[in-house]
Structure 1
Amino acid sequence: MTSPVTPIHSRDNAFVKELRKLSHDSTAYRKQGQVWLEGDHLCRAALARGLRPAVAVFAESFWPQAPEEWKQPAAKVVVLADALFADISGLESPARMGYLLEWLPGQVPLPGVATVVLDRVQDAGNVGSILRSAAAFGFLQVVALKGTAALWSQKVLRAGMGAHFGLHLVESVDASVLEALQVPLIVTSSHQGALIQHTQLPWPCAWAMGHEGQGVGPAVEALAKLQVRIGQPGGEESLNVAAAAAICLHASALTAPV
């Protein structure tokens, strides 16, 4: 049974203003306690993980053809005039639906699980790509240190393609929390440590991925139990952090028990 439907046609509506802020301000979710998922792919990914939206939002023209299974899980349904949906959208081609999810701060790291640590990784596309690799290669947790792009920002959500919903996410924490992970911390370097293919990698472990230009900071490096490098026989140090993360996490996945 579909929840009661609320139509909205005014851009001055308080709900519309909240959605617009969530869509355009990368950290608004922390203040408002809600995350905006725009588009059917992210919404279906959330449903597949058993999440239930507080509000389902549909464009007016799409509402009559929206599948029932996208409407039913929400406690509330809002139908926006098409122009309003386009106005709040952060996409060049606005989607026709979205979900509002409750967001709870204060997550703490889980001990003893395979983890990716993001140390001031600032590009949202890189962060989202790393989340996808983490989910694909069996890493259960991502810990984002202060200075890293906001994990639930719209750009990271879109780049993550639904990976968020299968991971335990911790953000805006200091490097001191890494001691609580209780797994070996590994850092990478272009010029120090043994080649990754010649290294016996521990499992579970925590891989630290650093700032695009500066790499892993001293506070994280001081906690590392192992340092490895990725060979680049082409002669150029051309790997970006997301590509490096995919290589490292895949290498670890090969050592994980089936």
Structure 2
Amino acid sequence: MKNKINKQQLILEFVSVVFAVILALVLNGWRESSALNANLVKVEKSILKEVQRNDSLIRQSHTYRGDLLQKLYSNQNLLLAVSTSDLDFDVNNNSKLVDFFKTALLFGQKEYHTVQVVQEGGDRVLILDNSVFDLKLEAGTLQVLGLGNVELKIPDLNNQSWDLAKATGTITEMDIALVEKLGTVNALIETYLKTSESAVQLVYSGAQKGLMPVLEDLYNLESKIMKANSQLLEELD
């Protein structure tokens, strides 16, 4: 009889231990799931805030860059304007203009290796080393127009949501469509930032060659980012 009671107690204790272990595992899994869900909500809110901010900045930049490119395409980018009354020589004298531009420091350089003013029919162009600019005389003002003194106005974009989603593990819980769209935006911004670095280097070097293509690349990337942002925002709604 005593052995029978001991067996019953052992079975009861065994069942209790197994139940406790299972319950602990279930509770632990529930806590982990709850924590992951809470993180997922936080991360998605962070993504939404970041995308909305980036989208506002990129749209402003896109408008500015479009206007800048239009000025450059139509050769309306004014680099220098000097009233002829402030000059002590005849601006129709090309050799005098050459002497003037040797010391004008148009782009902050101390000197140019090559300075020329060339007459092309009724138009004149200014050559400074490897760069070429248009010279115009309008309403008593000597103007220099062309590609130069470009203000890039690169937007300060944040691109941390992708890394945050991976670091917290929430990326595995996200809808696949959201992950794909977030990845697309992340890749485009990475490309945009690298292209921006190239543009900055070209502007600081004062080189004309290669600047227009990189400005066009920035403009086109901004268009793609805006489109990708719109798709991502739709997914987050």
Q: Give the TM-score band, short-chain normalised.
A: under 0.3
Normalized per residue, the structure richer in strand is: 1
TM-score by length of 2: 0.24
Normalized per residue, the structure richer in helix is: 2
Indicate the structure (1 or 2) with the bigger Cα radius of gyration.
2
